Amino acid sequence: MKLAIELVFVFLVVSISMYLFLRGYSNKRRMDNRIKEFLPGSQIEEAISKKEKRPSIFKEFFLSLANIFKNVQFSEKTAKMLVEAGSKLKPEEFFALRLLASVGIGLITAFLGVQWYLSVIVVITGFMIPNFFMKQKRKKRLTLLSYQLIEVLGMMANSMRAGFSFMQAMQLVGKEIPDPLGPEFDRVVRQAGLGSPLDDVFEELVDRLPNKELEVVVQAILAQRKSGGNLAELLETMEETIRGRVRILEELNTLTAQGRMSSWIITLLPVGLGLYLSLVSRDYFRPMLEHPLGWTLLFVCSVSIIIGWVVIQKIIRIEV
């Protein structure tokens, strides 16, 4: 019971600390955005330079730790994931963040006197947590893209019917639509203005935002620019098509919600029960961790849980 109380206390302290840190970071971002919105460019640079003169100790330590891994060759998959998630972190900074999370959780478990095998599991879990959250951020960003694309196509079609050119319509989208499509379209306009071929610019856009609907839209726009035709009408047609596809996806998500919940319950129930028994009744659960038969049962249980998770995910994943 004492260990459970200590775990709850540490969890509350860590949660409150993270909340205060994220709240301060959010307020700082909001203040920077308001400064950029209301001040001229020279005053913005002056204000930013004043802020940059006083970097925080935590930021200096984080950047110095990241510089250690600056020359390390990270996988392209990690860099691609950071770009698709819209993160400003570099691969070496992301790796440093994962190390800090792993070391921090490891120190907490060492302070609590947790057994070594549980500490190893917790340290590995801490190293994987930032990667998990980054993947969730990427998934959420790419999912939002499909909904934004409907609004973007309608805005571009109406703008072109009102007399705007194609690039002017894209520039309007870059100003009015938030992340992810707004900044990406603004980047496309700037690259095209610098003389880059539009085909290459759109291919880079699809690489940064891998989405089936966006890929179809880009291919249709490029084909129309080569063959000619009414682009505004084409954009409206694609808008209706994507709207119908998104509606079907929402219906499928509703129908498969029970399956997703079942997969979480079936997977986490034995894990939660094992942790509960190891904390509440250690003598009762000790043979499972010390006897070879217990090791065998834990291995078989882990493999069965993984197989069940994979099978359920295959069943509820329906391609549209």
- Single out the residue of 31, 9, 29 nearest to residue 21, CA to CA: 29
CATH, domain 142-246, list 1.20.81, 1.10.730, 3.40.30, 2.60.40: 1.20.81
Q: What is the pLDDT of residues 113-153, one digit of tens each?
A: 777 777 888 888 889 999 999 999 999 999 899 899 999 99
Residue 272: burial class (beta carbons within 10 Å; 0-12, 13-18, 19+) = exposed
- pLDDT of 42 strictly over 50: no
Contact between residue 205 and residue 219 where contact means Cβ atoms under 8 Å apart: no
Q: What is the pLDDT of residues 11-36, one digit of tens each?
A: 555 666 665 565 666 666 666 666 55
- Cα separation, 69 vs 73, in Å, equals 9
- Single out the residue of 147, 157, 166, 143 nearest to residue 237, CA to CA: 157
- Cα separation, 193 vs 303, in Å, equals 55
What are the structure tokens assigned to 209, written together?
A: 């935002």
How confident is the model at residue 108, as a pLDDT? 84
3-state SS, residue 48:
helix
Q: What is the pLDDT of residues 187-221, one digit of tens each?
A: 999 999 898 898 899 999 999 999 989 999 999 99
Of the chain, the percentage scoring pLDDT greater than 70 comes to 82
Q: What is the pLDDT of residues 64-86, one digit of tens each?
A: 888 888 888 888 899 999 999 98
- Single out the residue of 109, 110, 118, 62 nearest to residue 90, CA to CA: 62
How confident is the model at residue 10, as a pLDDT? 59
How confident is the model at residue 282, as a pLDDT? 82
